[in-house]
Structure 1
């Protein structure tokens, strides 16, 4: 039985991963500074847990006096916190109603504020509040960051009270979890085993060939307690692990990156922030509110790898980059968990190629023809398949897709998906990309998609789905040509030649694929 976990659609996956990476790469340095400030707010004083510790009155009164001496407003309680004492009969005009008493207790080194303290403190605290007032404590002078949509710079956060500041930390940790799951394809159990020291030293294998590894344990299908394993990943995932380690609670997490892999509630909080006013202020694209799980992120990575070669995984990450690195991880540790993920990639890719070939055959039967130099050969093959279907069995019986698939399977195996064409790589000696590469491509068993010139290669075809890319290419060349001065004749000639090629390909697609006006 195939994998029943549904992948996320691109309109969910792209803004989700882009938002997580924005938090990790842009906001995280400021969140770490905030975390340090929160930790310093509760000093670990000597004698804190023994009889040498001062009386609570002394510590809380000292905290109140510090506010007055420094002219520092007291922290404000959130509306939902204020609602509880109001329900218990507090006077709405009480000057202490909106004081964040829990924050005050933390400043004095106490874990909680006991309301039995209030009669003793009221007079002193009311006077202090009149002098310095109330204001959200954190982020009053927040540093500027670039908006996610590139529309200028803004403070990385609006002022927050202590509760909101702690939620800021929680959402940053959730962003790390989302980014690691989406970029590595790790299972939930494998993410749970990542420790604070999971990053192995990076390796430099040559110019621009840094390799990054994460160490952990694989639990599923292994002996009791799991087995040690490594994941070769990209720098963004490696850096995310570093951020997660810096934000982890080193006591509560017991040496692991994440305290808990409970995902539903933290994700809901993250989604609410991205889709709310704070996310819009940061320029984050809204995320459709559909169910999301860690398993779905793994499945989506496999499908994205198989379906969209050369496409974008998120705002900055090229699938081709991830594919290369992940493949090296598979080769480096062929018995490891990453090989299982690669097997999922491969299976999904094979199934997708068959579906693409089947769609092209159905187009052929509906009178929609492919364009490109390899169209004639592909049409001959489809005619052969059609003939085989007509001659195998009784007449007037509609053949199932499975029968067609069986006949298309070999041709589908040779299919390589490019952003502007399909490459039916049946004969390496005819591949234009290998000829252009010369001796460097000797013995190659796959095309060099990056060197493809599908307008000239005899094994390339163009279909309706490729038209938008060719149209965008033609429009951009028109813009460039219009801005080139008369003195730059060579550049103008080169671009004009390429524009003529693009327009010729577009005309062929429109004429044969039914996309013309």
Structure 2
């Protein structure tokens, strides 16, 4: 309907001619807003347009929402917005269903399985004497000790029953649900009020950590493991090179990089110390 109206109002409705052409949206929108909010718009019964930023992308999304929630609107939105797949239109319309819901469910399933396997690996490392490092290492070690105690008591009551990985996973499932992977640490998001990233961002009530703002050397819910050592070691080597390339006048940058370098070395040393027991026994 809108396209046909534009064709009738067009000065030269030739085949292939642009219906609208180029225009400055911000200026046109301000004119339109002033007219709707004027006495003329009020006499016509138009709802006033509130203050706030508006752009073409926002209008495109609003249009997709209005169309998609009408009968048969999802397919109509796909055609109108020229999307190749309906899943794209579902994302625009904020209507998880069909392909989008199936993909999201599959991703969540794989993430849950991956987290379970990671927690199981770290529990096996704990049993072999390879302990976690970092501010949250004590809490994680105590959790693993509690699980190990439960397994020992169960084995004592039934000596002929061997506990398999599935039995252990059942005990580790709750902890696996709060595991989030950082580039150089594990985040055990058990208590949002203790998460350093949420404190820095000013969002203490969030239900997920902000991994991009993670300072795992200070956060009480972060741990470092042997698999993270190469990342910290490489970071220390690169920082050392940067410090060596600084001139004598760049004292503030040297101080900042030196603190970063010292932190990386400390994390590497803590990871090495946490696994020293196993190395000594094997020697």
TM-score, length-normalised on structure 2? Answer: 0.65
Whether the 8 Å contact between 2:217 and 2:263 is mirrored in structure 1 is yes
Matches within 5 A, 1:413-492: 413-438=177-202, 441-492=203-254
Matches within 5 A, 1:99-118: none
CA drift at 1:329: 2.7
Q: Return the alpha-carbon distance in structure 1 between the equivalents of residues 172 and 220 of structure 2.
A: 20
Partner residue of 1:368?
Answer: 130
Match of 1:406 among 159, 170, 190: 170
Q: Return the alpha-carbon distance in structure 1 between the equivalents of residues 177 and 210 of structure 2.
A: 16
RMSD over aligned Cα atoms: 3.2
Structure 1 residues 126-167: Cα deviation after superposition (integer angstroms, max 9, x where no partner): xxxxxxxxxxxxxxxxxxxxxxxxxxxxxxxxxxxxxxxxxx
Q: Which has the higher helix share?
A: 2
CA drift at 1:228: 3.7
1:365–1:330 CA distance, 2 compared to 1 (3 A) = farther
Match of 1:333 among 91, 95, 98: 95
Match of 1:204 among 48, 57, 61: 57
1:396–1:331 CA distance, 2 compared to 1 (3 A) = farther
Partner residue of 1:358?
Answer: 120
Structure 1 residues 289-344: Cα deviation after superposition (integer angstroms, max 9, x where no partner): xxxxxxxxxxxxxxxxxxxxxxxxxxxxxxxxxxxxx9x93982211312211111
Q: Return the alpha-carbon distance in structure 2 between the equivalents of residues 442 and 358 of structure 1.
A: 29
Q: Return the alpha-carbon distance in structure 2 between the equivalents of residues 449 and 487 of structure 1.
A: 34
The runs of 5 or more residues in structure 1 that have no matched partner are 1-201, 212-226, 232-240, 243-255, 258-325
User: Number of paired residues?
Assistant: 205
Structure 1 residues 383-416: Cα deviation after superposition (integer angstroms, max 9, x where no partner): 1001111112413643110110000000110111
Give the secondary structure class of the aligned counterpart of 1:478.
Answer: helix
Matches within 5 A, 1:299-318: none
1:331–1:497 CA distance, 2 compared to 1 (3 A) = farther
1:229–1:363 CA distance, 2 compared to 1 (3 A) = farther
Give the secondary structure class of the aligned counterpart of 1:345.
Answer: helix
Q: Return the alpha-carbon distance in structure 2 between the equivalents of residues 330 and 402 of structure 1.
A: 40
CA drift at 1:472: 1.5
Q: Return the alpha-carbon distance in structure 2 between the equivalents of residues 205 and 358 of structure 1.
A: 45
Q: Return the alpha-carbon distance in structure 2 between the equivalents of residues 376 and 398 of structure 1.
A: 28
Matches within 5 A, 1:18-29: none
Matches within 5 A, 1:135-150: none
2:151 counterpart of 1:389: yes
Whether the 8 Å contact between 1:370 and 1:512 is mirrored in structure 2 is yes
Give the secondary structure class of the aligned counterpart of 1:332.
Answer: coil
Q: Return the alpha-carbon distance in structure 2 between the equivalents of residues 471 and 423 of structure 1.
A: 20
1:495–1:516 CA distance, 2 compared to 1 (3 A) = farther
Partner residue of 2:15?
Answer: none
1:229–1:421 CA distance, 2 compared to 1 (3 A) = farther
Matches within 5 A, 1:194-233: 204=57, 228=75
1:386–1:335 CA distance, 2 compared to 1 (3 A) = same
CA drift at 1:470: 0.8
Matches within 5 A, 1:159-174: none
CA drift at 1:467: 1.2
- Higher RCO structure (Cα 8 Å, ≥6 apart): 2
Matches within 5 A, 1:12-411: 204=57, 228=75, 329=91, 332-392=94-154, 393-395=157-159, 397-411=161-175
Q: Return the alpha-carbon distance in structure 1 between the equivalents of residues 112 and 160 of structure 2.
A: 31
Larger Rg: 1
CA drift at 1:443: 2.0
